[in-house]
Structure 1
Amino acid sequence: MNNFKQLITAIEQTHQRLQAQAAGAVNQALIIRNWLIGYYIVEFEQKGRERAKYGQQLLDKIAATVKINGISATNLKLFRQFYLAYPQISQTLSDELKPPSNTENQIVRIRQTLSDELVPAIQNTPSSVGASITVPPEKVISRLSFSHLTELTKIGDPLKRCFYELECIKGTWSIRELKRQINSLYFERSGLSAQPEKLSRLVQEKIKPQTPVDIVKNIYAFEFLDIPLQPVLEESDLDEHLFIQKYLIRLPNKGQLEDHINEELKKLQ
């Protein structure tokens, strides 16, 4: 250290680097915990088809029995949907946490036995276009927060979900930005664009990236860490997509979008 300015820079850079590592570790632990809870619930239901009929009653009973902050019936339903939407996360688990083999191959069987009420956000029969395109699971858990994944889980179309995963990772979007882009029909507009990569550049240039520590500044992380929260009222996102929905009546060009997504996946490797 030659001068005071270098000292301050070294301290700040060390803090930021290790703070980001800590935030990332908390986020990954939260994602894996919630995925495993979803797995346990689905596996319990699969022990007998009659258990799949319990539905909300089962989730209410678990929430009333388990004394863990944030384990509400609403969140349990979300965890179950999350597990069904992201079976590939099993590839990232350590041996001690990993469920039995062939988890991904069991997803079709599981979806067929569960009632529609249990998996409202997940398509029972994946689309032939884009069904095999997925972001590497290690990128999903290291680059996205669980709050992002709760929004992505609601998207039943695998290609559309992959599109937003990639764009979110590439631009380090905040959860608010992800919601805004979904509501603005960004995916559909990309499918209708002659140059989706150009539209992507224009969109990303206008977005302010979130900082690494922002990924744990959400209610799921605070609950996971048992940090008390005061009731807050979040500002509702502007429902700006109504006008667009009225005029964007054609389906997006999924073949073109699949090519675009494959190119982005290559860059992510």
Structure 2
Amino acid sequence: MAIIIKSNEEIKLMQIAGDVVARTHELIEKYAKPGVTTKELDTIAADYIRSRGAIASFLGYEGAFGAGKYPGSVCLSINEEVIHGIPSLRKLKDGDILSVDIGAYINGYHGDAARTLCIGNVSEEDRKLVEVTKQSFFEGIKMAKEGNHLYEISAAIEAYVVSHGFSIVRDYVGHGVGKNLHEAPEIPNYRVPRRGPKLQRGMVLAIEPMVNIGTWEVEVLDDLWTVVTCDGKKSAHYENTIAITDGEPEILTMVH
């Protein structure tokens, strides 16, 4: 599948989707406290996305392997849950970490970003996991420049994560984003033997390291959505949608 290059006008439209996502994240962070259920957070996110005239990208998204349509507006994954956690009546507890993945669709384009939040008083190791995961994204996008190759981003992410004693999930990767939530190219968060496509101005990429304390290996629960670590140790997730420019990459899913 070909990589779709976006015009400046299209990227401006994607900034609007990105702003909806970024501000939804701010709202979730405000309400994500011990005692709150993930279903309550999902409702808060859904209401805000709708108030902006946008559609939650994940609601009704068709899953693989017969999973059916995703039932939540956002993905909320606790502790050993890596991604695609389904909102439920489960209450957040002091010491949990919560990965929040949000997509919004407006004006014909998607924005996509994830954050991992520390709930109450978390352990030093868990806080380090969250911080390293976030920083690995920023290490990766140092390579996200026109003329570089895609997998230079991948190698930079893995090198940073491994240097801090954590592991990178290999079964799930980043992706292009635009009119479709998932477009070419796939973006591994680990070093691969090839260089990958050359980065061009107008490429829009969702770069999303998923980092585990223990093994990188994961499995899918019986709900056919929730991905968990095989060893039950915690996982963190950080993602932004970025645009390749003729200079530094532009992050579309942060509040400016």
TM range (shorter): 0.3 to 0.5
TM-score (normalizing by structure 1)? 0.31
Whose strand proportion is higher, 1 or 2?
2
TM-score normalised by length of structure 2? 0.32
Pick the structure with more helix per residue: 1
The structure with more radius of gyration: 1
